[in-house]
Structure 1
Amino acid sequence: MSISVLFAEVIIPLALPKNYTWSVPAALRDQIKPGVRVEVILGKNKKYAGVVKRLHEEKPEAFEAKDILNILDAEPVIFPEQLKLWEWIARYYMCSEGEVMAAALPAHFKLSSETILVFNEEFGDNFSTLDHDEYLVGEALLLKKELKIGEVQQILDSNRVYPVIKRLIEKKVCTVWEALKETWSPKKEIFVLLNHKYDNEEELSALLSDDKKLQRAEKQLELLLSYLHLIKTQGEVTKPELLKKSGASDAQLKGLVDKNILWLEKRQVDRLQYLPRNIQIDFELTPAQQRAFDAITEQLVSKQACLLHGVTASGKTQVYVKLIERYIRQGKQVLYLLPEIALTSQVIRRLQKHFGGYIGIYHSKFNQNERVEIWNKVKTGELKVVLGARSSIFLPFTDLGLIVVDEEHDTSYKQQDPAPRYHARDGAIYYASLFNANVLLGSATPSVESFYNAQSQKYGLAILGERFGGVQLPAIDIIDTKRMFGADKDKIIITPPLKAAIDQSLEQGKQVILFQNRRGYSPYQVCQTCGWIPHCKFCDVTLTFHKNTHKLHCHYCGTVYPPVHACQACGSDKFSQRNFGTERIEEQLEEMFPKGRVARMDIDSVRGKTAHDSLIQQFEQGRLDILVGTQMVVKGLDFENVNLVGILDADSLLSFADFRVNERAFQLMEQVSGRAGRKDKQGKVFIQVSNTQHPVLYFVQQHDYGLFYNQEIEGRRMFFYPPFARLIMLTLKHKSKDVVEAAAQMMAFSMQGEYGKFLVGPAEPVVNRVRNQYLMELLIKLPKDGELIQRCKRFILEQIAVLHNDKRFRNVVVIPDVDAM
């Protein structure tokens, strides 16, 4: 009886519109299963590590399926729930499952294809036709038979080896073989153990006084005594620890090993240190918190998701902790999402206090080896609570019970570039549904969409309307800057009322936070004679001057330019600095408050894995007086001693050409205001602004989210924006402006029939050139009709394919962004 041929649909980390199919050799049939990685060849000889999505017996009609070469895992690296999540993200956000895979898996699971040179035995050993470099590589190949590219680079002492390799292949000295290289390896540590014989105290005493064995070897005796001290205090001793503590050498340790007193044992260890596992909740909820907690638990019985709308400093984290405890005690896993890595350090210290070693962290500051270890601990169920940024939704949970999305309104949850351009909050709600798990969304300033879902009873709603300890929300003063100018008619950075308030705070031993949504020293400089402004060569944006590098930086493409001393238009050397960034504020604060200890928190000042945590801890411990920063200082940070907050340029928040401008401005101002007066007394907030009549300022002054929401939702309904519409933004890119404009017109024309009434554009964006690519945009505003939306998405993807079949538009990049922010 003939056995039917088995085929595997495999996801590989490429942007392929469809997953490719390979056949499963008979020898691998018993080992293959969905979720394992397999080694496959695509094209002539390019190897990939792909993930098996499904097994089936449907022979591909259009091509001959190649065999899978190898199975790389004994057990799946991901589970069916993750494969469903990948499929949903690819379908919903109009990208490929390969792109989702590339974002989801740690780099060490995506094996690299490494070139290996293999010696051609038929060539023989006559190298007289080879030049000097070819001869050196040929000799090495003759001896070793195989060489990696890195080894060729060492032999020739040069990185430029490809021309030499090309000539060797042409002369048939060697052939090329592509091998997949496993890049992750477990961390191993050498542990030192005492011979079991000396567990007996009498034997150990006899050893320590043994004249022959140790008394004449003074250094070895010191080393053994250090070991005995460490084993008593720590329980386990590693070789590096022992040598450091004792000041001994390898040779002295080897002496004790040779005498069979100590043994060495190599073991696999964790790269990350974990605390002992225990649950220790040392607080009681306040009556207001308890009412919110009860409302959440009641709502989550009948609804999958619940929104906790709690004012700033109301103690939402304590409600989360009580809820997490409940799920852990049921044996469930919990995912706690935060929008920024900056927040994790403060929250992790609180959660570790309550849950110890049950907690793990997962975000982009960890290296790839550490990520693989956390991935595996989640997969085995060893980690019960994971705290992480948006990519944590891809972790392979086995028994997920709850996802907490803290600061759910935050735009950082939406991935911008590259694909998949997913929203972690919405992805979390879908992911939780696969486990029948619950989702708690928390915010002092919920997104309009989430609050609308709560009002329309799609989500539950719990309100926490008072601050912890009965502290009042901060008083807000609006400072009119219309008639206040600094040097060169520039905007004033610190107005006199704000300066007086900072002086008073410092005298009282309190701390101050100042917020400005621009980094660098000066957002742009302008020629005083003719008005010329330095622009980036590759992007249609002005350059920002950074004083610490003494260079002009483009914040879009990252190009750095030398400072400009003479105007390229008129030759004048007189420039004015326009507006101000965090770097310039920091400098001015140091001049104005020489006794104040000032620090800056932005993307330029906090680099490296521990930089955020270090700065936050310094501020928490009172070693800094004034913290100036960008959005990083806004998001959920909790500092007890801050009584004053200053928003230095609110006009910059209120003047974007975007339908979400009022929502974003309200959220940012209310969130940054919430950092003031969190512990004992009412805090104070100063907002410096020239447009003092803007309605958002009134809502912020009143701390009235409900009033803001009622006005905002009417505007959204009137102009057909979310939550009443679904947005798909198409961005077209090309190095030629004419080509990209023609392509955008062609796309718009193709959509006129069925989707013309939903189409806005094509139009140039505010910044219409980035990295030498000209941009055009089309916005599609669709009603909330699932079938229509899916049909439109399919139509867009078909039209992109049609566009690329036209020779003129082959190189036009089209980027669909679903639910564009």
Structure 2
Amino acid sequence: MSTSVLFAEVIIPLALPKNYTWSVPESLRDQIKPGVRVEVVLGKNKKYAGVVKRLHTEKPEAFDAKDLLNILDAEPVIFQEQLKLWEWMARYYMCSEGEVMAAALPAHFKLSSETVLVFNEEFGDNFSTLDHDEYLVGEALLLKKELKIGEVQQLLDSHRVYPVIKRLIEKKVCTVWEALKETWSPKKEVFVLLNQKYDNEEELSALLNDDKKLQRAEKQLELLLSYLHLVKTEGEVTKPELLKKSGASDAQLKGLVDKNILWLEKRQVDRLQYLPRNIQIDFDLTPAQERAFDAITEQLVSKPVCLLHGVTASGKTQVYIKIIERYIRQGKQVLYLLPEIALTSQVIRRLQKHFGGYIGIYHSKFNQNERVEIWNKVKSGELKVVLGARSSLFLPFTDLGLIVVDEEHDTSYKQQDPAPRYHARDGAIYYASLFRANVLLGSATPSVESYFNAQSQKYGLAVLGERFGGVQLPAIDIIDTKRMFGADKNKIIITPPLKAAIDQSLEEGKQVILFQNRRGYSPYQVCQTCGWIPHCRYCDVTLTFHKNTHKLHCHYCGTVYPPVHACEACGSDKFAQRNFGTERIEEQLEEMFPKGRVARMDIDSVRGKTAHDSLIQQFEQGRLDILVGTQMVVKGLDFENVNLVGILDADSLLSFADFRVNERAFQLMEQVSGRAGRKDKQGKVYIQVSNTQHPVLYYVQQHDYGLFYNQEIEGRKVFFYPPFARLIMLTLKHKSKEVVEAAAQMMAFSLQGDYGKYLVGPAEPVVNRVRNQYLMELLVKLPKDGELIQRCKRTILEQIAILHNDKRFRNVVVIPDVDTM
């Protein structure tokens, strides 16, 4: 290898169908290895920080490989297992490894590109042809040879420097190149230390009584006494902490440093605080939990994946904790996946109680510096358990033993936009296989696919069929809303039976959770004269009124509009609010229950890193009585004092045009009802619905997942849907409706020959315009034949390339979504 030219296949964060290859200069051969980041140029002068996938000696046939410029890491930032995961994800989900890299790496590892001006020596030093601004920059370049954009802005005292730079390039005074700079830096903190000489009590006592050194410097003496107190209580003392506690100034601290009494030392510190590392399991499993634990242990010996089907409030988390303990004691790492950031705060408190500083959290609410620190602690093996949302799947584990996928049925595990459109549960199963690790899936309402795999013995199955403490599953009452309307002829929000139940719960000092799957105040408003409804200018959807902002919001593109006071069709000013969202429910609850403390949990009310945790803790501590929210309140939260749950509009869950509608409705209703009566006695659930004969309601009332599954699997088999088929949804987008329709027809025609019997469509989706782009969909339903599926994926990618070679369709965006949800 040393005698021939060495080449590096490098992944860069772009949607390139193939990875590009660069040659490795002789000077960098000893330092380069797979998994390190390198600096490369693609095109004329665009620089990227890429990751080396592999090293080889095969010269590219189609082009001359350029030298890579620099190696950015002494050691790999990722390992072979992550590179294999990226490759599998790109192949399986029909995207590029560059797109996977962009999703996987924290932003600071991707580096930022900074424009640098380089002086052209051939221009010389005659600046007589330059104007005033050009002259200033030219003169600075003559002296320094290179200037960054920021330096040019300072020089000209203006942010508008690009026209000046453009003229300098045109006049050949300078050229431009891109410099990559590392944006992450370790956090440093100044610590205060006592001179070791005063560790001796006699020396310290003499110092405190020394007239010359301290008695005449009263403030310095107070500062020193504060320091000694802090050292005793805290162990280590930082400079900001000492100055804050003592009320002293920098000058007084400098005085003690100058006298060689105190020393200052700068150290690298963690941005996130960790508890001491210890394992402390202070509970025993119930007999039912013990049986489930033994079943999981036994199943994972012969099968890599096991499904724990445990009813709501059966204590699945305690079973997880016992299993995690086993893997930690074996020196293995564990990844604990949760579908929502909202859940992490409650679960992390439980896990920290038992595993202390072995635990770390990783999700999108952390800033980029914090993410890099967690990344490095996982890579070094320092963190043994990571709790996180789907993105934590990309962390560089060294010795992964177990992945727990809690609430495995949850649709939040599927990434929608941008690519890679991966499913974290399925990605976890592949990732674990690279380490020969185990996967434990857990849910009270498993996905039909996972339960099918367990029934067909592909996965192991453990059942936890009784609630913790022997508490009964909640009783469910169906409230028929067909004849119940409010004074404004609108749907009634809180029916009389539900109101009476809330009153009773509040009287008993209990808490209430109300669920509505729509946020905002009113999902749409309608002109009472002609029926006109305000729509988004850019999307084919109605606008939702948010009372908090007093604006109309589009929940698809995020555009905000002023409220409409006059109908654009007939000019009438008479509007009716139709339907209701969480904001309106909150308002009505405050009116109906003036003594009840009400809070709302949805994407609008819960923002910021600690907002979820703060609201959950308030509810846990009994400082709130009624919590109203969207799906956030459904997912696995555990509140001991809740005895009543209300589902305010079940019709909205049962009426989607989707093959999974029954599955999703059953899961949501069963999960939300599971929040009731978790501690001492049976809870109550009220479901407000007009379609009272819907079969899903019966399954929910009986809490009978098995009956639901048996009915659902028959329908899936008849209509050839998962788990019997594999789905690939192709979504085509373009600003012209005619162009996107023609492109969809061309795509369907090109696939018709080999895959005609598997095609559905093309057709318009329910929402056929988003962000001013018209949409068309084409669904491919393939049998479970690996070779056929791979061949079809390759054909689709080839046909997309052919489509884009047609001038009419060059700007049509085609998005393949594998295993579409």
TM-score by length of 1: 0.99
Distance 2:676 2:618 in 1: 18
Alignment of 1:504-653 (within 5 A): 504-653=504-653
CA distance in 2 between counterparts of 1:117 and 1:56 reads 35
Q: Cα distance, 1:118 vs. partner?
A: 2.5
Q: Structure 1's 2 and 654: CA in aligned 2 closer, same or farther, altered over 3 A?
A: closer
More displaced 10-residue stretch of structure 1: 123-132 or 694-703: 123-132
Distance 1:265 1:121 in 2: 46
Work out the CA distance in 2 between the residues paired with 1:154 and 1:627. 52
Match of 2:798, SS state, is helix
What's the CA shift string for 1:753-794, capped at 9, x where partnerless? 110000000000000000000000000000000000000000
Aligned mates of 1:616, 1:713 — CA distance in 2 = 37
| Partner secondary structure for residue 487 of structure 1 | coil
Distance in 1 between residues matched to 2:477 and 2:131, nearest whole Å: 79
Displacement after TM superposition at 1:121 (Å) = 4.7
Deviation at 1:165, TM superposition (A): 1.2
Q: Distance in 2 between matches of 1:150 and 1:549?
A: 38
Show CA shifts across 1:405-453 (max 9, x none). 0000000000000000000000000000000100000000000000000
Distance, in Å, in 2 between the alignment partners of 1:456 and 1:159 is 65
Shift of 1:122: 4.9
* Closer, same or farther: CA 547–132 of 1 in aligned 2, 3 Å: farther
Q: Name stretches of at least 5 consecutive residues in structure 1 with no aligned partner.
A: none
Q: Give CA deviations for 1:332-370 in whole Å, capped at 9, x if unaligned.
A: 000000000000000000000000000000000000000
> Which deviates further from its counterpart, 120-129 or 99-108?
120-129
State the distance in 2 between where 1:111 and 1:690 align.
Answer: 55
Q: Distance in 2 between matches of 1:194 and 1:73?
A: 37
Deviations 1:253-289 (A, max 9, x none): 1111111111111110000000000000000000000
SS of 1:612's equivalent in the other structure is helix
Describe the SS at the equivalent of 2:357: coil
Alpha-carbon distance, 1:474 to partner = 0.4
Q: What whole-Å deviation, never above 9, does each CA across 1:640-662 have from its counterpart, x for those lacking one?
A: 00000000000000000000000
Following TM superposition, by how much is the alpha carbon of 1:129 offset from its aligned partner in structure 2, in angstroms? 3.6
Superposed displacement of residue 158, structure 1:
3.7
Q: Deviations over 1:133-182 (max 9, x none)?
A: 33443454455443222233344444332112111222233321210111
Q: How many Å separate the matches in 1 of 2:132 and 2:632? A: 57
Q: What is the alpha-carbon distance in structure 2 between the residues aligned to residue 2 and residue 400 of structure 1?
A: 35
> Deviation digits for residues 611-655 of structure 1, max 9, x if unmatched?
000000000000000000000000000000000000000000000
Which whole-Å CA distance do the structure 2 matches of 1:674 and 1:372 have between them?
Answer: 37
Cα distance change on mapping 1:124 and 1:716 into 2, 3 Å: same
Q: Distance in 1 between matches of 2:67 and 2:118?
A: 23
Q: Does structure 1 conserve the Cα–Cα contact (< 8 Å) formed by 2:31 and 2:74?
A: yes
Q: Could you say what secondary structure the match of 2:251 adopts?
A: helix
Aligned length: 821
The Cα shift of 1:27 comes to 1.1
Q: Does the 8 Å contact 2:521/2:547 carry over to 1?
A: yes
Q: Measure the CA separation in 2 of the matches of 1:92 and 1:445.
A: 27
Report the aligned-residue RMSD.
Answer: 1.2
Give the Å deviation of 1:116: 1.1
In structure 2, relative to structure 1, the CA distance for the partners of 1:158 and 1:564 (3 Å cut) is farther
Deviations along 1:669-701, one digit per CA (max 9) or x if unpaired, are: 000000000000100000000000000000000
CA distance in 1, matches of 2:777, 2:2: 56
Residue 463 (structure 1) aligns with: 463
1 CA distance for matches of 2:138 and 2:510?
72
Give aligned-pair identity as a percent: 94
Partner secondary structure for residue 252 of structure 2: helix
Between stretches 579-588 and 121-130, larger displacement belongs to 121-130
CA deviations 1:503-528 (Å, max 9, x no partner) are: 11111110000000000000000000
**1:459-505 deviation digits (Å, cap 9, x = unpaired):** 00000000000000000000000001113211110001101111111
Q: Partners in 1 of 2:507 and 2:125 — Cα distance?
A: 84
1:295-339 CA-partner distances (Å, limit 9, x unpaired)? 000000000000000000000000000000000000000000000
Q: Is residue 99–residue 420 contact of structure 2 (8 Å, CA) maintained in 1?
A: yes
**1:22-61 matches, cutoff 5 A:** 22-61=22-61
Partners of 2:652 and 2:514 in 1: CA distance: 15
Deviates more, 1:450-459 or 1:127-136: 127-136
Separation (CA, whole Å) in 1 of partners of 2:754 and 2:124: 69
1:326 alignment partner, SS class: helix
> CA–CA distance in 1 between the matches of 2:577 and 2:552?
12
Q: Separation in 2 of the partners of 1:137 and 1:247? A: 48
Alignment partner, residue 323 of structure 1: 323
Structure 1 range deviating more: 161-170 or 586-595: 161-170
Q: CA deviation at 1:113?
A: 1.4
Listed as ranges, the matches of 1:657-806 within 5 Å are 657-806=657-806
Question: Which residue of structure 2 aligns with residue 191 of structure 1?
Answer: 191
SS at match of 1:463: strand
Partner of 1:314: 314
* Alignment partners' CA distance in 2, 1:209 and 1:810: 85
Q: Distance in 1 between matches of 2:371 and 2:32?
A: 25
Q: 1:716-751: CA deviations, max 9, x gaps?
A: 000000000000000000010000000000000001
User: How far 1:29 sits from its partner (Å)?
Assistant: 1.1
Distance 1:242 1:731 in 2: 60
Post-superposition CA distance 1:222-277 (Å, at most 9, x none): 11111111111111111100111111111111111111111111110000000000
Distance 1:668 1:639 in 2: 17
The alpha-carbon distance between structure 1 residues 205 and 2, as it changes in their structure 2 partners (threshold 3 A), is: closer
Offset of 1:813 from its aligned partner? 0.4
Contact 2:514 2:646 survives alignment (8 Å)? yes
Secondary structure of the 1:484 match is coil
The separation in 2 between residues aligned to 1:122 and 1:209, in whole angstroms, is 72
Looking at structure 2, the residues matched to 805 and 342 of structure 1 have their Cα atoms a distance apart, in angstroms, of 45
Distance 1:560 1:398, change over 3 A: same
Tell me how far apart the structure 2 counterparts of residues 171 and 675 of structure 1 sit (CA, whole Å): 71
1:157/1:769 CA distance change after superposition, 3 Å: farther
Q: CA deviation at 1:374?
A: 0.4
Deviations 1:41-83 (A, max 9, x none): 1111111111111111111000000111111111111111001
Contact 2:94–2:793 at 8 Å: present in 1 too? yes
Which sits farther off after the overlay, 229-238 or 323-332? Answer: 229-238
Of the structure 1 ranges 159-168 and 679-688, higher mean CA displacement relative to structure 2 is found in 159-168
Shift of 1:30: 1.2
**What secondary structure sits across from 1:264 in the alignment?**
strand
Of stretches 6-15 and 169-178 in structure 1, the one that deviates more from structure 2 is: 169-178
Unaligned runs of 5+ in 2: none
The runs of at least 4 aligned residues of structure 1 exceeding 4 Å deviation read: 121-128
1:702–1:809 CA distance, 2 compared to 1 (3 A): same
Residue 3 of structure 1: how far off its partner (Å): 1.1
Q: In 1, are the aligned partners of 2:378 and 2:395 still within 8 Å (CA)?
A: yes
Q: Greater shift after overlay, 191-200 or 629-638?
A: 191-200
Could you tell me how far apart the structure 1 residues matched to 2:123 and 2:811 are? Answer: 43
Contact 2:46 2:177 in 1 (8 A): no
Number of the residue aligned with 1:384: 384
Structure 1 position 14, deviation (Å): 0.4
C-alpha distance in structure 2 between counterparts of 1:615 and 1:769, whole Å: 36
Q: Which residue pairs with 2:141 in the alignment?
A: 141
Distance 2:133 2:496 in 1: 72
What is the DSSP-based 3-state SS (H/G/I as helix, E as strand, rest coil) of the residue aligned with 1:277? coil
CA contact (8 A) 2:343 2:637 kept: yes
CA distance in 2, matches of 1:114, 1:630: 43
Distance (whole Å) between structure 1 residues aligned to residue 611 and residue 530 of structure 2: 42
Indicate if the aligned counterparts of 2:37 and 2:76 stay in contact, CA closer than 8 A: yes
Q: Equivalents in 2 of 1:156, 1:65: separation in Å?
A: 40
